[in-house]
């Protein structure tokens, strides 16, 4: 059987047909798959069964904070092959945020950011998100065609998170370009210098933004975090900068890809699209099913915080354990007929937002944006269809299911 490599998790072939890749994973017989190298970080273990992924994400022995550990001896020497990965990982060590640390730091940082993501606050955004969706379609309606990514899926969540953070409209396009450059460069050792360059741009912009909010505070998340920092609320400057960076990137990138991949899945399953168009009450369950079937996050990772044994395999302290959320979402032991897209699915304990203490903080916002995006597109564009053959679609280099573009006619 052909060996699976770390690069396979980000290949265009995997993004185009993840189900085929899942079958390769599931066919390995072993519940834990050993990778010889994971993007230059050395050997790693891959968990892809739903039960195992949940257990690892909820087990405090598997940690996120790389500052706590040195990797095993055979993984310590940096090489040219992992230069780009190393640069990004070193930056995250210096610039911690709630996604890269463990309790108690995680608890403290998440508490500060979560004040802006309460259910009441998110539901209050519904009219504004609907307005943005309608305005985006108003702008393209007469053309009869658009790139659904550039014209709709990107500007919708980018506008929402930018307004929440108090970022001026004129600055937002730069974030999309920087995010795409970073996701691409961090996987390519030839672009190692680009990782530093992009991160420097992000940091300089955020420092300028923080200075502006300190001088002219507003009713936005950034102003609130600046106030917490200035009042000594246990938030370092690097944590402040990295938290804003995380909210910018995570606040739009995954939702862009949920909308893009979700619409593609519906277009490839026209009976499901017709059902959803005829019964908008199915939007909540449809979003959950699209998160399961075509969710953006392919993998996450943890580090073994101590020597431990799982499925008879000895995992050494400091080793990387990769959890494939997308694969777990296709596990037949968890989902009936998992290869089918079924927007009426009721039992849907998918892992698109992760599990445990690092469960995605923005999940309620992503769900709301998804419901409004899919509902508005299907109701306003009854003749929505692909403008190119599916095999002509391309994906961005990333461990996210990230369409470069999605040309459609309507």
Q: Which domains does the chain have, with CATH numbers?
A: 6-409 (1.10.630.10)
Q: pLDDT exceeding 90 applies to what percent of the chain? A: 80
Neighbours of 330 (CB within 10 A): 23
Q: Are the CB atoms for 33 and 4 separated by under 8 Å? A: yes
Q: What is the reported pLDDT for 82?
A: 67
Residue 84 has pLDDT above 90, yes or no: no
pLDDT per position as a tens digit, 133-155: 999 999 999 999 999 999 999 99
> How would you class 220 by CB atoms within 10 Å of its CB: exposed for 0-12, middle for 13-18, buried for 19 or more?
middle
Confidence of residue 186 (pLDDT cuts 50, 70, 90): confident
For residue 71, the model assigns a pLDDT of 57
Q: Give a three-class secondary structure readout of the chain.
A: CCCCCHHHHHCHHHHHCHHHHHHHHHCCCCCEEEECCCCCCCCEEEECCHHHHHHHHHCCCEECCHHHCCCCHHHCCCCHHHHHHHHHHHHHHHCCCCCCCCCCHHHHHHHHHHCCCCHHHHHCCHHHHHHHHHHHHHHHHHHCEEEHHHHHHCHHHHHHHHHHHCCCHHHHHHHHHHHHHHHHHCCCHHHHHHHHHHHHHHHHHHHHHHHHHHHCCCCCHHHHHHHHHHCCCCCCHHHHHHHHHHHHHHCCHHHHHHHHHHHHHHHCCHHHHHHHHHCHHHHHHHHHHHHHHHCCECCEEEEECCCEEECCEEECCCCEEEECHHHHCCCCCCCCCCCCCCCCCCCCCCCCCCCHHHCCCCHHHHHHHHHHHHHHHHHHCCCCEECCCHHHCCECCCCECCECCCEEEC
Q: Looking at the predicted structure, is the pLDDT value of residue 319 above 90?
A: yes
Segment 330-345 shows an average pLDDT of 97
Backbone dihedral angles phi then psi of residue 276, each to the nearest 5 degrees: -70, -40
pLDDT band at residue 89 using 50, 70 and 90 as cut-offs: confident
pLDDT (0 to 100) of residue 243: 96
Peptide bond into 104 cis (omega under 30): yes
pLDDT surpasses 60 at 237: yes
């Amino acid at each position: 059987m052909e060996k699976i490599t770390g690069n396979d998790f980000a290949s265009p072939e995997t993004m185009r047909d993840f189900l085929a890749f899942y079958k390769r994973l599931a066919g390995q017989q072993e519940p834990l798959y050993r990778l010889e190298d994971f993007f230059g970080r050395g050997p790693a273990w891959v968990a892809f069964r739903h039960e195992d992924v949940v257990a690892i994400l909820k087990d405090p022995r598997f940690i996120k904070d790389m500052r706590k550990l040195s990797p095993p001896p055979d993984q310590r020497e940096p090489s040219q092959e992992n230069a780009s990965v190393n640069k990004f990982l070193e930056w995250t060590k210096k610039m911690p945020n709630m996604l890269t640390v463990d309790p108690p730091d995680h608890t403290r940082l998440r508490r500060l950011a979560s004040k802006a993501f309460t259910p009441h606050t998110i539901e209050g955004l519904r009219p504004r998100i609907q307005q943005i969706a309608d305005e985006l379609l108003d702008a393209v309606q007469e053309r009869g065609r658009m790139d659904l990514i550039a014209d709709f899926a990107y500007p919708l969540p980018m506008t929402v998170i930018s307004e929440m953070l108090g970022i001026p409209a004129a600055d937002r396009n730069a974030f999309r370009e920087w995010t795409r450059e970073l996701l691409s460069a961090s996987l390519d050792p030839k672009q190692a210098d680009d990782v530093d360059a992009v991160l420097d741009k992000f940091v300089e912009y955020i420092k300028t933004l923080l200075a502006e909010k300190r001088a002219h505070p507003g009713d936005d998340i950034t102003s609130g975090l600046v106030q917490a920092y200035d009042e000594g609320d246990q938030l370092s400057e690097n944590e402040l900068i990295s938290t804003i960076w995380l909210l910018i990137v995570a606040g739009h990138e995954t939702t862009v890809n949920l909308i893009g991949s979700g619409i593609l899945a519906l277009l490839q399953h026209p009976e499901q699209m017709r059902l959803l168009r005829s019964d908008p009450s199915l939007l909540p369950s449809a979003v959950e099913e699209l998160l399961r079937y075509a969710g953006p996050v392919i993998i996450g990772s943890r580090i073994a915080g101590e020597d431990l044994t799982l499925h008879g395999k000895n995992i050494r302290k400091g080793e990387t354990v990769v959890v494939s959320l997308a694969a777990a979402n296709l596990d037949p032991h968890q989902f009936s007929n998992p290869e089918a897209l079924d927007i009426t699915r009721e039992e849907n304990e998918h892992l698109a937002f992760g599990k445990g203490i690092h469960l995605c903080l923005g999940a309620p916002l992503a769900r709301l944006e998804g419901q409004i995006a899919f509902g508005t597109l299907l109701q306003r564009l009854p003749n929505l269809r692909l403008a190119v053959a599916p095999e002509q679609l391309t994906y961005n280099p990333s461990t996210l299911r990230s369409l470069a573009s999605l040309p459609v006619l309507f």
